[in-house]
Structure 1
Amino acid sequence: MNDLSVKPADSVWGEKDVTSRKGAEDENFPVGSLLFARRNRAHVTAYYNFARVIDDMVDNAELSPEAKIARLRAMEAVLRGEREAPHRADAQTAVVLRRHLLETGVPLETAADLITAFCQDAVKNRYASWEELLGYCRYSANPVGRFLLLLHGEDDCTLPLSDALCSALQVLNHLQDVTADLKLLDRSYLPQDYLDSAGAQIDDVLLARSKPGLRRVFDRLLDEVDILNDRASVLPGLVRDRRMRAYCAVVLGLSRRLASRLRRDDPVASRVKLHKRDGALALGQGIRALFPVRKSM
Structure 2
Amino acid sequence: MITAVDVNAIDDRLQEAPSFYRTPVLRPSLKDAEEWCEHLATTHYENFHVATVLLPKALRRHFYSVYGFCRTSDDLGDEVASTEIATRLLHAWRGMLHECFATPEASKHPVFVALQPTIAECKLPREPFDDLISAFERDQVYTHHESLATLEDYSRYSANPVGRLVLLVCGYHDERLLQLSDDICTGLQLANFYQDITQDWARGRRYLPADQMQRFGVTDAQIAERRFDANFKAMMQFLVEDARARLTRGQQIEKLVDRDLQTTLSLFAKGGHAILDGIAAQGYDTLRARPVVSKAAKVRLLVGALGGKLRAALLPKRSLAR
Please state which band the TM-score falls in when normalised by the shorter chain.
0.7 to 0.9
- The CA distance in 2 between the partners of 1:46 and 1:155, in whole Å, is 19
Inter-CA distance 176–80: structure 2 relative to 1 (3 Å threshold): same
1:111 correspondence with 2:111: no
Name the one with the larger helix percent: 2
Which residue in 2 is equivalent to 1:14? 16
Which residue in 2 is equivalent to 1:40? 59
Which residue in 2 is equivalent to 1:247? 264
Q: Is the 8 A contact 1:32 1:45 kept in 2?
A: no
- Whichever residue aligns with residue 19 of structure 2, its letter is D
**TM-score normalised to structure 2 length:** 0.77
Q: Is the 8 A contact 2:122 2:168 kept in 1?
A: no
- The CA distance in 2 between the partners of 1:49 and 1:211, in whole Å, is 42
Give SS of 1:268's match. coil
1:158 correspondence with 2:177: yes
- Whichever residue aligns with residue 114 of structure 1, its letter is L
Deviation at 1:206, TM superposition (A): 3.7
Q: Is the 8 A contact 1:79 1:95 kept in 2?
A: no
1:52 correspondence with 2:54: no
Inter-CA distance 249–30: structure 2 relative to 1 (3 Å threshold): farther
Which residue in 1 is equivalent to 2:37? none
Give SS of 1:195's match. helix
| Range 97-106 or range 148-157, more displaced | 97-106
Deviation at 1:126, TM superposition (A): 1.0
- The CA distance in 2 between the partners of 1:174 and 1:94, in whole Å, is 30
- Whichever residue aligns with residue 24 of structure 1, its letter is Y
Residue-by-residue CA offset, 1:106-143 (whole Å, 9 max, x unaligned): 22222221111111111101111101110000010001
- The CA distance in 2 between the partners of 1:12 and 1:285, in whole Å, is 39
Q: Quick one: which of 133, 155, 172 aligns to 2:191?
A: 172
Inter-CA distance 216–135: structure 2 relative to 1 (3 Å threshold): same
Deviation at 1:159, TM superposition (A): 0.8
Give SS of 1:33's match. helix
How many percent identity over aligned positions? 28
Deviation at 1:31, TM superposition (A): 5.8
Which residue in 2 is equivalent to 1:261? 278
Map 1:191-210 onto structure 2 (within 5 A): 191-208=209-226, 210=228
**TM-score normalised to structure 1 length:** 0.83
Q: Is the 8 A contact 1:18 1:60 kept in 2?
A: no
Q: Is the 8 A contact 1:6 1:15 kept in 2?
A: no
Inter-CA distance 152–158: structure 2 relative to 1 (3 Å threshold): same
1:279 correspondence with 2:298: yes
Give SS of 1:274's match. coil
Inter-CA distance 78–210: structure 2 relative to 1 (3 Å threshold): same
Number of residue-to-residue matches in the alignment? 282
Map 1:30-109 onto structure 2 (within 5 A): 32-60=51-79, 62-63=81-82, 65-81=83-99, 92-109=110-127
Residue-by-residue CA offset, 1:69-103 (whole Å, 9 max, x unaligned): 22112112212226867x7xxx6434433443234
Inter-CA distance 221–13: structure 2 relative to 1 (3 Å threshold): farther
Q: Where does structure 2 lack aligned partners over 5 or more consecutive residues?
A: 22-39
Q: Quick one: which of 15, 24, 29 aligns to 2:45?
A: 24
Q: Is the 8 A contact 1:57 1:68 kept in 2?
A: yes
Inter-CA distance 3–280: structure 2 relative to 1 (3 Å threshold): closer
- Whichever residue aligns with residue 93 of structure 2, its letter is M
- Whichever residue aligns with residue 279 of structure 2, its letter is L
- The CA distance in 2 between the partners of 1:206 and 1:92, in whole Å, is 42
Q: Where does structure 1 lack aligned partners over 5 or more consecutive residues?
A: none
Q: Is the 8 A contact 2:77 2:89 kept in 1?
A: no
Which residue in 2 is equivalent to 1:270? 289
1:220 correspondence with 2:238: yes
Q: Is the 8 A contact 2:13 2:92 kept in 1?
A: no
